[in-house]
Each structure stands twice: as structure tokens, then as C-alpha cells.
Amino acid sequence: MQTKLFIGGEFVDAADGATFETLDPHDGSVLAEVAEAKQEDVDRAVASAKTAFPRWSRLAAADRGRLLLRLADAIEGDAPDLAMLETCDTGHPLRDTLGLDVQRTAATFRYFGGMADKFQGTVVPVEQGFLDYVVPVALGVVGQIVPWNFPVMFVSWKLGPALAAGNCVVLKPSEITPLSALRIAELAADIGFPPGVINMVPGYGTTAGQRLVDHPDVAKLSFTGSSNVGRQIARGAAETLKQVHLELGGKGANIVFDDANLAAAVNGTAFGIFHNQGQACIAASRLIVHESVKDEFLDRLVALTSSIRLGDPKDPATEMGPLTSSLHRDRVRFYLEVAGDEGGTVLTGGKAPQDASLASGYYIEPTIVEIGPEARAAQEEVFGPFLVVHTFKTDAEALEIANGTAYGLGAGLWTSDLSRAHVVARELRVGMVWVNSYKRVNPGSPFGGMGVSGYGREMGFEAMREYTEPKATWINIDAALPPFYSR
């Protein structure tokens, strides 16, 4: 595994030689000592990207796309090793990193590789005698900060559109899970990306991340993470007037109506909240179920939840691994205590597993708590295998509960009524809605939210717009311009 900074096409030590440990969440053991980027290192990376930008941005779009397509192929060829690296660093079960995460990563690079020479400008019909054309132009050096929950996948979400559009990137992986990002940098170097186009500076948010926010040569900062940190970044970026893209937290509402296919809704609900140990901004963390089907639905859901196999994430049979860090495990435990203090009823889970082989890891059983919609556990993002349950009588009540938080990222609903599906989807104040499904993503579909869930979009044509600016050029072909002033 690579453990150094990646700057100017080379893996290098931090300027002061500093390192930090990255841990295996299964047992708390040290996986590696990783170089820790600080201000001087970020400055070197930005300078490298700035130097590389003119040549990269002028490269034919098809040639940029061809490199992204080759990177997708390289990731697929490296899938077994890359998936295992991701599993060891995050605790995400191998069956998911291999079957979903790495494949989605390759698919995203492939999508934007194909997009590079298809993101077109426009011709505006202006006054007679003029040609006015508008083309999207790259921003320059882009700073990107990715979180620890899906690190390999988020690297592709950030790098793919930024590189396809002609930008050069300085990316800061999380200090908790930096290894897969560094591996992608290595693959990119191997297949021929020019030096300086991609730079990786693993480090802490207060140092490396803050320098990306403050650096005057960084044209845009794209951040995925918590809403609180997003606010700090937005305030800091105002000093240099850099553009900001924020993909922040969520508190996903998942509404089950009385005419839903309950078997499908139970399976979709469990996937929506317990996949990746619930460590997802779009997790279906609030179940809003019609009172007439509540008992049957919860009986089925509790039975399924209790059957989920916890274990070593490197075991292909494991369905749920540990939380990614001890600090985050403690955060989930805190919300369990808060829910108890607020009168919540634990229907299943809520404790560490009894298996002695898991005692050293950061494990918590998948948990379901019935509690009121105004409770802290129902309003604040827990970001773990923690589902809260509410009931409703009418569609209006379901919408009131669903829209009753400050978040607006994603929501789902389960119904057999087509008209209801469209009406409820329209009224949900979120950036994404899933009907009779949950947590589906595709490189072509825009991903992002409203409210304290942030602004801007990942994926699709919208992501390409995030990393470009429209530039209008007026050409006087044969327009006669009379003098504006007369003597």
C-alpha cells in the first residue's frame, strides 16, 4: 500500500516528516503509518496543480476522457486488492466493497471519461450580424475533501467530473481512511496521468483541509462531510471568494404507506439504513410507517435486522462490519443514551455484539428505536446502524413528519398508488426521492440536497457544471455599428 503524499506525480514524505496512524476498525490494530500533510505540503501540491493546469486544460477533451477510461479499467483490474484495502481501512464488508463500491468507482470514472468530449457549449440567438457562443471553461485548481465512509467511491465522484472538465485537483482524503485514495493515485500515475494533474494530501481538517479552504490559488472547494464543518468551510472560503460545493448530512425519511408491498419495503428499509453500518448521508434513518401496517411491518423488520451477520469485514460471509472509528462508535452509543432518556423504546439491538472475537473492534448491533419525531435522535444525524420509527394516519401527517427536520438530502416512499407516489415525491423537500426503492445511485443522476444538507450536485451533467464556468464570446460578423457619439 502507498502511505506517502502524492504531489507532482511522485509519492513523497511530508515536509516535516510527520505521520499518523490509520487503524483496522475490526480489532483496532495499526494498518499503516501515513504521511501527514500540513500547510507547506498543501502549498506544494497547489503549486504543482497550478503548473500542470494550462497544459491539461488545453488537452483535447477526448484525450482527457481516454485517460479516465483507462483509469476505470485499471481500477477494475485491481478490484480484489483495492476492495480488500478499503475493507481493512473502513470496516465495510468485503462483499460490499468488492460487489458495490469498487464497481461504482470504476463506473463513475468511465461515465465521466465518456462525458469529457460531450459536454457542449451553446450558441445564443442574439442581434442580427453577431455570433454569440458560450463554452464551459475549467476553473483551474480545485480543492476536494472526501469523507471516511465511502472513500474509494467518493474519490471517483470528486475526481471524475473535475478532471473531465479540464481542472487539476488537490484532494485531501480523510485521516481515518486514506489508503484507497492513495492507491487510486498510484493507478492514475501508472496509466499515464501527467504529473500535477492529481495530487493527494492526506491529513487533518484543521491543517491540510483548512489550507485548501484558505489558499488563494484554489478556485473551488468541494467538500463532503458534516453540516457543521460545511458551515465553517463556507465562511472561510468567503475570504478568497472561491466557489464552494457542499454535500453534507442527511436524516432520510422512509415512508411506508398502507398499500405498500411489505416484503419489498422491509428489505429496502433494511438496506437503506444498515448498509455500511448506517454510515451514509443518504441512510434511511427515519422510518415513517402507517399505523395500520405498523405491527406486521415491524415484526418482519425486527426479525430481518436480528438475522444480520456481524463479523470480520474481511470474511465474505459478513453482512455488517464495525463502525469505522472508535470515536464514531462512541457517538452512536451517545445517541442510544439520549434516546433512552427521551423515552425511546429499543425494539432490537442497541448494544455491542456478544461474540468475543469482536470485542476489540468498533461494533454495535443494528438498532431500531421507536420514538417521537421531535426527539434528538430523530432530528440529528446519528450516522450509524440506528433507525428511529414513527407512525402516521394520513398522507399529510406523513409529509409533515418527513419534512420536519432541517435536512433535505434524500427520502423514500413505498406505495402501490401511482398518483400518491408522484404527489408525495413532489412535496418532499429533498434533492432525491426513491419510490419503491431506496439509496439507488448512478453516475448520470444528480446527487445532492437542500437545507443543511448543502448545495451543489455530484454526478451527471450537473457535476460538470460544478467544475466549469460559462464563457460567452461575441463575434461581429457583419453588423453595422453606428457611432454612439457624434461630434
> What is the average per-residue pLDDT within 216-232?
97
Question: pLDDT at position 98, please?
Answer: 96
Give the residue numbers annotated as catalytic, written as ranges. Answer: 247, 281
**Nearest to residue 87, comparing CAs of 97, 78, 79, 77?**
97
* pLDDT tens digit sequence for 421-463: 999 999 999 999 999 999 999 999 999 999 999 999 999 999 9
CA distance 197 to 305: 45
- Residues 230-246 have pLDDT tens digits of 999 999 999 999 999 99
Provide the pLDDT for residue 145. 98
Burial state string for 424-444 with b = 16 or more CB within 10 A and e = fewer than 16: bbeebbbbbbbeeebbebebe
pLDDT of residue 205: 96
In the prediction, which pLDDT does 339 show? 96
218-231 residues labelled b (16+ CB within 10 A) or e (exposed)? bbbbbbbbbbebbe
User: So what's the pLDDT on residue 186?
Assistant: 98
Q: What is the pLDDT of residue 487?
A: 73
Strand, coil or helix: 395: helix
d(CA 459, CA 408): 18
Q: pLDDT of 55-99, one tens digit each?
A: 999 999 999 999 999 999 999 999 999 999 999 999 999 999 999
What is the rounded average pLDDT of the residues 143-166? 97
Q: How does residue 42 score in pLDDT terms, banded at 50, 70 and 90?
A: very high
180-214 pLDDT tens trace: 999 999 999 999 999 999 999 999 999 999 999 99
Exposure string of 61-72, with b = 16+ CB inside 10 Å and e = fewer, is beebbbbbbbbb
Output the nine-digit C-alpha cell for 302.
425486527
Please compute the mean of the pLDDT values over residues 362-369 and round it to a whole number.
Answer: 97
Query: Residue 164: which residues within 8 A CB-CB, separation 6 or more?
Result: 61, 64, 65, 68, 112, 113, 115, 116, 119, 464
Q: What value does the mean pLDDT take over residues 249-256?
A: 98
Task: Please give the model's pTM, rounded to 2 decimal places.
Answer: 0.96
Share the mean pLDDT of the chain.
Answer: 97
Q: What percent of the chain has pLDDT over 90?
A: 99
| pLDDT band at 47; cut points 50, 70, 90 | very high
Predicted pLDDT at 486: 81
- 433, 413 Cβ separation under 8 angstroms: yes
pLDDT of residue 401: 98
User: Largest Cα–Cα distance in the chain?
Assistant: 95
For the chain, which domains are there?
5-248+453-473 (3.40.605.10), 253-435 (3.40.309.10)
Closest CA to 49 of 202, 179, 173, 166: 166
Please compute the mean of the pLDDT values over residues 171-177 and round it to a whole number: 98
Band the pLDDT of 17: cuts 50, 70, 90: very high
